[in-house]
Amino acid sequence: MQEAMINKAKQLLSEGVVNRVIGWKRGEFAYDITPAVFENAEEIEKSFVYDDFTAANVSKYLVKESKKDGKILAFLKPCDTYSFNQLIKEHRIIRENVYIVGIPGGPKLDAEKIKAKGITGILGVKNENYTLKIDTIYGEETMPFYEAVLDKCASCKSKKHVIYDELIGEDGDTLDSNRFDMVEKLENMTAQERYDFWRSQLSKCIRCNACRNVCPACTCEKCVFDNPDSGIENKAPSDSFEENMFHIIRAFHVAGRCTDCGECSRVCPQNIPLHLLNRKFIKDINTFYGEFQAGEDITSLAPLNEFKQNDCEANIIHERGVE
Amino acid sequence: MLKISLDKLDKLFEAITASKTLYIPVDREDGAAEYRKYKSGMKLSNALNTVRSAKDFFFPQTENLVDFKMDGKNIEVIDIRKESEDFVIFGVRACDARSFTILDKVFLAEPVDSYYKNRREHGTVVTMACTRPAETCFCGTFGIDATSPEGDAACYSDGENLFIEAHNEKGQKFIDSISALLEDGDTAKLEETRSKTREILKKLPLANLSTDSFGGDKLNEYFNSDKWGELSESCLGCGTCTFVCPTCQCYDIKDFNTGHGIKRFRCWDSCMYSDFTKMAHGNPRLTQLERFRQRFMHKLVYFPANNNGEFGCVGCGRCLSKCPISMNIVKVMKALEVK
Amino acid sequence: MNNDTLIPYIGVVTDIRQDTPDVKTFRVVSTEGGKVFEHMPGQCAMLSIPGVGEAMFSITSSPTNKEFMEFSIKKCGCLTTWLHAMDVGQQITIRGPYGNAFPVETELKGKDLLFIAGGIGLAPLRSVINYVRANRSNYGDVQIIYGSRSKDDLVDYKEIIDEWMNDDGIEVDLTIDNPQEGWNGHVGFVPNYVKELNPSINKTVLICGPPIMIKFTLAGLKELGFKETQVYTTMELRMKCGVGKCGRCNIGNKYVCKDGPVFRFDQLGELPDEY
């Protein structure tokens, strides 16, 4: 796949269709891959990479990149195309300035999951028939491929590209995913259990803002949490409960726009399953207003952006809250 | 050297908690390690390091500095400082131990930061030598020996026993407080373990990373380098690197109105944030390039310029594993260094 | 526990003077009367209204004033708007003094001095000017070139007219950007006026004003034959701690709050262009 992508990128550059390529750049180790813009064939030859660790969703970078001169080639995985579509819908990306090549997606791997097994000194990672052969300073280690899969890929919602100019490989279909399983589990908890769950998770937050900054739905030019005039600008909680509010407010703000790309949880340095907050909203929106997938198209009105006479009444929240 | 069997660690921890609050690294459910206040039954983590560094003990993410009571045109200043309790941080790695001497250079320089000093004086740092360094480790680059950590007292494991030695008076007091549990031990096996670890350290992928190209006199070489654009282009402008970094110490001071008084608190801040240098009339660091450059210039050039050549990095590798886009000081050093 | 510089003192505002449409000068004393602390010309203090904000301001009064400190503050942000709205008798918090000072007791001693200021930039220089006036025999000739947008925007106009202009050995040259009724003085921007006046290149220059004014004035001074080692300025960047620890006001390895705010241009030239 990597080779086909490199050839495609070089071809589009030499034909003058695009003047830049956004993709992923090889790092020091097997897994530390950085999203990058490539401007010529030499750079691509040297460091372009597409493998089991190229999980980063590059859609959000196109907000800025699509405003520069010339067209940029973006390789988008199926999940990335939902984010891209949603950003077009929100008038954040100039579609004409991006040439999209759809590429097959994951499952992608999470180096943290390999390290959590106690495997360290990682020098190389190979996937042999869904067994990871991990070369380390301390000798070779193995682990099942699926135990190292990123959470966001473990509950993949779609193998289908919802927008592209061309594809490498065949397009897939939307999947019957198990992505609401954990949400249901949380719903079935008692209020106290649920509270304890989120308190223990959110209390790990170090307020680095990685979740917000990576989120393709968070493209406000000035976030309310960065605005000293808002009265709630804060880099750290002023009390132990306030941290929860940052994440809850953010989840509210992206409700109906979050495509469930899972980047928030992927980048969290404290492994907080932030995507579960978003999924709860997605699940509720599906229940209250009918099935809706943000980013699936660029024309439909989001459920929270329109009013229908048969919309559920607000007191449904209260009724459901009664145990 | 004095030693205690590794299977008696819980007895050791109980003995420490008899006189002081104890913090040890423990494994969380998600497999990552973090420092927690010791309670009976807790197991010492085998992880190489905690996600959050040990700097939190002396420079917490948020702390109250002073309270104010407002009454009409009058203001009352309330000094809320209290003497810190005595505490022990156990299992600090060599990299984090060195970070304290770096933080000291900032907070204990005149005018002394009394909040930091108070905790520093009441905290005993008990370090733990590394035996399984990771690929992300590069403490050796900064002259740190992972097998001989600094700290008030240091521990070394040979797989069966934990050996303890004091480095100063505070460390000796710590050892005296637990001496009933310790016995003299033969260090032959320990020395074997340590030399094995030293061999591994030499073979680490970043073992050859050098600071030769950096230092306080390298301002002009690097400030205007054309590499910064490429290095910073994917930076999300989040504060992950800053907040997991054991040496990052920039802070903000803010007021919080509780409704019955004002609390002035300080909290960690990050030079990566867009409002870090924003003023009413402008911002000298307008784009992420300048903010990104500041963080690395500070560690590799400005800090050594002000501190006799000491770098503002200890090679703990946290930013290498935690940066959401995997951009870090190693990549910056390799891109900038003059071969 | 020893006092910590982050814990402020209380100051009482005993006088508020409307200097220009957007600049007020505040007189501050301690709760017992008298100055909250001593300072040298060019040093700064952190003023705050708890719950509103805290910011660094240069101390505009001269250390030779033994009764009070003064701060000339332009209304431009959250805290300054609050300060402009308050009344006499209001308490504020104050901590300092912070930063270095103009070298009035060393390098400037015995020298002919040229002060160049634009707008609110006079505020930090006023401290030096009045210090020099109070210790007149220690310094040579004094020339002050000061410009503002309009006559109404000249800070401390009354003091300039009534006191400075009446002193022996002090030349004051005022200018405003555009012609204005009731103004018979010079019209034009400060950098051009400096060139027109063609001051002697033996003078030591202290300059403060908007960055763009400083830039063109410095270029003009160089054309006239001044060296960077003869010219001092004072800087301003965002600050929180005031003591070189919070990490945001650095230019290269120098912290404006601690190593500055006063820099000589040759020293500034060695630092990165990031201010």
Per-residue pLDDT of chain C (275 residues; tens, 9 = 90+): 778 999 999 999 999 999 999 999 999 999 999 999 999 999 999 999 999 999 999 999 999 999 999 999 999 888 999 999 999 999 999 999 999 999 999 999 999 999 999 999 999 999 999 999 999 999 999 999 999 999 999 998 889 999 999 988 899 999 999 999 999 999 999 999 999 999 999 999 999 999 899 999 999 999 999 999 999 999 989 999 999 999 999 999 999 999 999 999 999 999 998 88
Indicate the domain borders of chain A.
Answer: 1-109+154-176, 111-148, 179-323
Quick one: B116 and B189 in the same domain? yes
Quick one: B174 and B234 in the same domain? no
Which chain C residue lies closest to B284 (C-alpha atoms)?
C275
Is B108 domain-assigned? yes
CB atoms closer than 10 angstroms to residue B124: 21
CA distance A122 to A27: 13
- Please give the pLDDT value at position C177: 95
Is B231 domain-assigned? yes
For residue A238, pLDDT beyond 90: no
For residue A192, pLDDT beyond 90: yes
**Do C8 and B271 lie within an 8 Å CB cutoff?**
no
How does pLDDT run across A169-182, given as a tens digit for each residue?
889 888 888 899 99
How does pLDDT run across B178-190, given as a tens digit for each residue?
999 999 999 999 9
CA distance B154 to B148: 8
Is B242 domain-assigned? yes
- Please give the pLDDT value at position B306: 96
C-alpha count within 13 angstroms, C-beta hemisphere, residue C118: 23
Quick one: B196 and B232 in the same domain? no
CA distance C109 to C112: 9
Query: Span A270-290, mean pLDDT?
Result: 94
Is B48 domain-assigned? yes
Quick one: B241 and B177 in the same domain? no
Is B94 domain-assigned? yes
Q: For chain B, positions 57-86, list CB contacts with chain A under 8 A.
A: 61-62
Torsion angle defined by CA atoms of residues A300, A301, A307 and A309, in that order, rounded to the nearest 10 degrees: 10
Mean predicted lDDT score pLDDT of chain A:
92
User: Picking from A90-94, A306-310, B95-99, B208-212, which range would have the lowest pLDDT averaged per residue?
Assistant: A306-310
How does pLDDT run across A208-230, given as a tens digit for each residue?
999 999 999 999 988 888 887 77
- Please give the pLDDT value at position A234: 65
Task: Go through chain C and tell me how many residues it has.
Answer: 275
Domains: count for chain B:
2
Strand partners, B70: B75
Task: Go through chain A and tell me how many residues it has.
Answer: 323
Which residues make Cβ contacts (< 8 Å) with residue A139, sequence separation at least 6? none
Quick one: B64 and B124 in the same domain? yes
- Please give the pLDDT value at position B339: 67
For residue A52, pLDDT beyond 70: yes
- CB-based contact A98:A62 (threshold 8 Å): yes
Quick one: B169 and B245 in the same domain? no
Domain boundary among B203, B237, B270: B203
Query: Span A11-36, mean pLDDT?
Result: 96
Range of the domain at B164: 2-203
Substitution target from B325, B329, B332, B337 for chain A, most A beta carbons within 10 A: B325
Q: Could you give the C-alpha distances from B314 to A188, B53, B169, B336, in angstroms and in order?
A: 46, 11, 25, 19
Flag whether residue C93 sits within 8 Å of chain B, measured between CB atoms. Answer: yes
Q: Could you give the C-alpha distances from C23 to B34, B279, C75, C78, in angstroms and in order?
A: 52, 18, 6, 14
Quick one: B120 and B17 in the same domain? yes
| 3-state DSSP percent of chain C in helix, strand and coil, to 5 | 25, 30, 45
Cis-peptide, bond into residue A107, ω within 30° of zero = yes
Mean predicted lDDT score pLDDT of chain B:
95
**Do C253 and B306 lie within an 8 Å CB cutoff?**
yes
CA distance C167 to A167: 83
- Please give the pLDDT value at position B92: 98
Quick one: B193 and B242 in the same domain? no
Quick one: B198 and B224 in the same domain? no
- Please give the pLDDT value at position A237: 60
Quick one: B176 and B255 in the same domain? no
- Please give the pLDDT value at position A4: 96
Which chain B residue lies closest to A43 (C-alpha atoms)?
B230
Domain boundary among B152, B174, B203: B203
Q: Which of B132, B205, B268 sits opposite A236 (nearest CB)?
A: B268
CA distance A47 to A199: 42
For residue A323, pLDDT beyond 60: no
Q: What is the ipTM of this complex?
A: 0.93
**Do B219 and C90 lie within an 8 Å CB cutoff?**
no
Of C79, B204, B171, residue with least CA distance to A122 = B204
Strand partners, B156: B163
Residue recorded with tokens 């030693």: B3
| Residue C271 with chain B: CB contacts under 8 Å | 219
For residue A321, pLDDT beyond 70: no
Q: Which residue has the higher pLDDT, B259 or B50?
A: B50
Which residues make Cβ contacts (< 8 Å) with residue C161, sequence separation at least 6? none
Is B78 domain-assigned? yes
Query: Span B233-261, mean pLDDT?
Result: 94
Q: What percent of chain B has pLDDT over 90?
A: 91
Token pair in block for residue A202 = 């959110």
* Dihedral angle sign, alpha carbons of residues B180, B185, B191, B194: negative
Quick one: B177 and B255 in the same domain? no
- CB-based contact C202:C113 (threshold 8 Å): no
Is B109 domain-assigned? yes
Q: For chain B, positions 185-204, list CB contacts with chain A under 8 A.
A: 200, 203-204
Q: H or E stretch including A206?
A: none
CA distance B243 to chain A (A): 7
Quick one: B61 and B186 in the same domain? yes
